[in-house]
Structure 1
Amino acid sequence: MGKGTTFSAQITGLLQGGIFQPHEQLDYDSDWRKKLGDAYANKVEARVTCLCKGKPDDLTLRRLVVRYLKDSDRFSLSGWKHSGGQHRHDCRFYSVWPDDTSAGAYSSSVVRVNDDGTFSITLPVGLSRQTGTDKAASDVNPARHPRTGKSKPSMSLLGLGHFIWQQAEINTWKPQYVKNRQRNALWLASRINGMAQNIRISRLTLADVLLVSAVGEGAQKEANQQRVSYSKDNQKRMLAIALLKADAEQGYAEMQAGHLILSSPLGFPKLNVSPNVFRACERSFGNELSAWKAGHKVVAIVETEPPTRRYERINGRNVPITEAEVIGIALMRVTPRFIPVDSGYEAIIEARLCEEERSFIKPLRFDAEEDTLPDFVLTDVDGKESVPMEVFGMNTDEYRARRAVKTEGYNKEYGVGGWWSWDATRKDAEENIPAFPAQRD
């Protein structure tokens, strides 16, 4: 992608701001330098915004940070943390990854940004099945990578789920979302479908082999049926992304019996689960299964072999049954707003943030092994690019050691009072959640 293109930038919040064209954003341009200096000195009021996608209605989008480089006595711009995906793919501030930890999880070829802005992604088990030369799906668990300490040569199903959530900004929350469109299963299906148009796997557009929840005799059911037919006729593996069914007791019993039934699976084939795949899911996603049984929403990211059709004698008639063998199941616990969370403590904070009408991002780990990401990032604090938030929910020796390392790192980067934390292990912790940093007006 190279260094990317410089687009116009807008400075607001100053007595004299304005829009600066690319050719005006030069170190020796006195007006540009003065405006950047004023913005740097007035971080609370000033906003610098990249206009690579035009003027945004929401001035928190594509925000830029003004930095002063003392050694060279000049000002420079950089993108806000976790916002690289908001920019055009050819913009100099664009980034596939929200942070260095996520970027370091994979080899460089696992995710590629194409010239048209689409993504090419490598999965452990590809979607194109090639007879005789195809790697047996039974040789690998595509749902989650084992911890090896090395960059991964492919993206797991869980990593793909995180990638879609990040690129579609499902892991982002702002108060106005309540007024715009309620987040429900159909909203989620639409959001995932839209993102799948921009992802290529095994030279296939993901949307061509993707199953998502559908309601009634509508367009999505028909689309699911068409994708199943295409995959069956062309020997393509399929991906399904949907909530586990609400009745967890019945759903879990069905999984044990060899059948996976997702929420609103209209147009889906019958999903068969072998004992090996079920046990792998239990080993890798025990916490998510427990959350599901406790009544919480859990999203499944499922890969199957190409669908097949057989006939079953029912009531004296030969009835066609379309089915597919599941080769991997990744699970992701989410809140009612589909924000991923790793624990009940995180769910408490997510709910409190939404109640107080705060804007935040939930950073996602993908397949990274380092535990360096904050649990949440506030994006609406006056004069601050972001404020990391940590939920400390365990009290083991190993966890306390990691907590000490994180605390030292945050204090060094943000200052002792520049980040937020909650010790959820203390007595009456839920009644003593610290106040969140003040919100900008």
Structure 2
Amino acid sequence: MTYRRGRGSVSGHRRGQRAVSRARVRLAGREVALWQLRRAPGVYRAVIEQAKVTDGCAWCLCSDPAPRLVIRHRAGVYYLACWPSGGEEHARGCEFHNTGGQWSGRNQYQDGALQETDDGSASVALSLPLHVRTTNSAPAGTTPSPRAAGAARSRMGLLGLLHYLWERADLTRSPSPDSTRSSQRGWARCSPLVRAATTGVTSAGVPLSWCCYVIPPFDPAHPDQHDAAFTRFTDRLVERNGMTHRGLVLGAVRSWTPTRYGQRCELRHHRAPVFFSTTLHERIRRGAPSTMTDQRPAGSEQVMLALVSRSDQGNLSAVGAAVMLTNADFIPADSTHEVVMADALTAAKRTFIKPLRYDGAAAVLPDFVLTDTDPETMVEVWGMLDREDYTARKQAKISHYRSTDTPLIEWDVRDRLPDLRLHPGS
């Protein structure tokens, strides 16, 4: 294992911690501490609604001029999020600062696959349609024709959409360095953020907030509170005027159970399962072996986005699906070793983002980017060193980092984890 110290200032780690706790935003001319807004959103509801009407956004006071923040509303609650592609406008150390535009697989698409506007809305062209003619419906589990290597994609797959929603919900960022392991970012915190991220996104003119059911957190005190919303969602999955209407289900996987015809997928916080054909389930396992392995680290999660139809018996059947591996904080990972690294970085109270590949398996991206150093430090997890193509790719990455004088932390998974703490003066 190798640890190359970064050049330049590293005191930004402490500055970043103060920025998180002291971050302030402006809403309709009024300054508010971000932590107060998050702790008691109902108190500031009126001023947020006024800001949405008067300015159409909030303003982060981390720098001058103040960067815009998106105001999102979902299930009666307002959220602030980084403006699309505006993360680099925020001061280093601000929790809205990110280089997601640089460290992201979203740039692989052709124009039209993903279109974002200045008001924070977006449209995506999905590779699997939400509506199909009943007489020409493709068999469940079919996928688009293979794409030529290196060619830009004209449409977004389900994994790309899942990654886009995760970025849009700002869940590729590590939890606050001030947080403790007792306050893990579980599904109860992630679900509302992902649901809010669907607001303003459309596909083929259909609002994602309407056709995508994000599993809400279960409340034992009110076990039936989401039944009506789920029934409304499934009632839309019908055949009308010769068209079969599909929907999207997004949630954390609890278990996979073999059935006579394939697999039964149970989702956390939810009663109704999603059924997979043997063919589709095997295709997912082959395409994402690290995600679908039974040997996942303790506390890791599988997040699934499934395109579903409703059977005659009222069951949900998957037409296509993408499954993403995460750690307990729902930070995405491309392998089980990356789950271990994400946990270790969080335990070391490092501030980082996880670059997402979207649909581009060949996208050359670092495994993690530490944002508490100046310049950012790349983190690479080397886990498949028995493969010649992987070793060649590793050497190309290392050569690039050296030629650009980019700080780098490496972990050969055959060895122990390196020291991940940020040392003063390093």
The Cα offsets for residues 90-145 of structure 1, whole Å up to 9 and x where unpaired, read as xxxx99x622762442111100114532110011112123445x662558427x97
Gap regions ≥5 residues in structure 2: 1-18, 20-61, 70-81
Q: Which has the higher contact order (CA 8 A, sep 6+)?
A: 2
Q: Give the Å deviation of 1:181.
A: 6.5
Q: 2-side partners of 1:145 and 1:51: how far apart?
A: 44
Q: 2-side partners of 1:388 and 1:376: how far apart?
A: 6
Q: TM-score, normalised by structure 1?
A: 0.67
Does 1:421 pair with 2:401? no
What percent of counterpart residues are identical?
20
Does 1:277 pair with 2:280? yes
Aligned to 2:346: 354
How has the CA–CA distance of structure 1 residues 121 and 157 changed in structure 2, closer, same or farther, with 3 Å as cutoff? same
Q: Give the Å deviation of 1:177.
A: 5.0
Counterpart of 2:284, as a letter, is C
Q: 1:261 aligns with which of 250, 261, 266?
A: 266
Does 1:379 pair with 2:371? yes
Q: TM-score, normalised by structure 2?
A: 0.70
Counterpart of 1:345, as a letter, is H
Kindly indicate whether the alpha-carbon contact (under 8 Å) linking 1:209 and 1:231 is maintained by their aligned counterparts in 2: no
The Cα offsets for residues 51-94 of structure 1, whole Å up to 9 and x where unpaired, read as 1327xxxxxx89x99xxxxxxxxxxx9647999x959xxxxxx9
Kindly indicate whether the alpha-carbon contact (under 8 Å) linking 2:253 and 2:301 is maintained by their aligned counterparts in 1: yes
The Cα offsets for residues 243-269 of structure 1, whole Å up to 9 and x where unpaired, read as 111xx4xx2424964433222224x4x
Aligned to 1:388: 378
Gap regions ≥5 residues in structure 1: 1-12, 14-46, 55-60, 66-76, 88-93, 311-321
Farther-moved stretch of structure 1 (252-261 vs 182-191): 252-261
The Cα offsets for residues 348-404 of structure 1, whole Å up to 9 and x where unpaired, read as 2211111121111011111124342111111112xx142111111222332221111
How has the CA–CA distance of structure 1 residues 280 and 385 changed in structure 2, closer, same or farther, with 3 Å as cutoff? same
Does 1:155 pair with 2:160? no
Counterpart of 1:287, as a letter, is S
- The within-5 A match list for 1:14-413 is 48=63, 50-53=65-68, 79=89, 98-99=101-102, 102-114=105-117, 116-132=119-135, 136=138, 138=140, 140-141=142-143, 148-173=149-174, 174-176=176-178, 178=180, 182-214=184-216, 215=218, 216-232=222-238, 235-245=244-254, 248=255, 251-254=256-259, 257-266=262-271, 268=272, 271-291=274-294, 296-305=300-309, 307-310=310-313, 322-381=314-373, 384-396=374-386, 397-413=388-404
Q: 1-side partners of 2:343 and 2:296: how far apart?
A: 20
Q: Give the Å deviation of 1:158.
A: 0.9
The count of residues paired between Structure 1 and Structure 2 equals 344
Q: 2-side partners of 1:324 and 1:166: how far apart?
A: 27
The Cα offsets for residues 317-344 of structure 1, whole Å up to 9 and x where unpaired, read as xxxxx22321112111110000111223
What is the aligned-residue RMSD (CA, Å)? Answer: 3.8
Kindly indicate whether the alpha-carbon contact (under 8 Å) linking 1:389 and 1:420 is maintained by their aligned counterparts in 2: yes
Structure with higher Rg: it is 1
SS at match of 1:120: strand
SS at match of 1:161: helix
How has the CA–CA distance of structure 1 residues 406 and 207 changed in structure 2, closer, same or farther, with 3 Å as cutoff? same
Q: Give the Å deviation of 1:202.
A: 1.9
SS at match of 2:293: helix
Kindly indicate whether the alpha-carbon contact (under 8 Å) linking 1:392 and 1:422 is maintained by their aligned counterparts in 2: yes
SS at match of 2:365: coil
SS at match of 1:141: coil
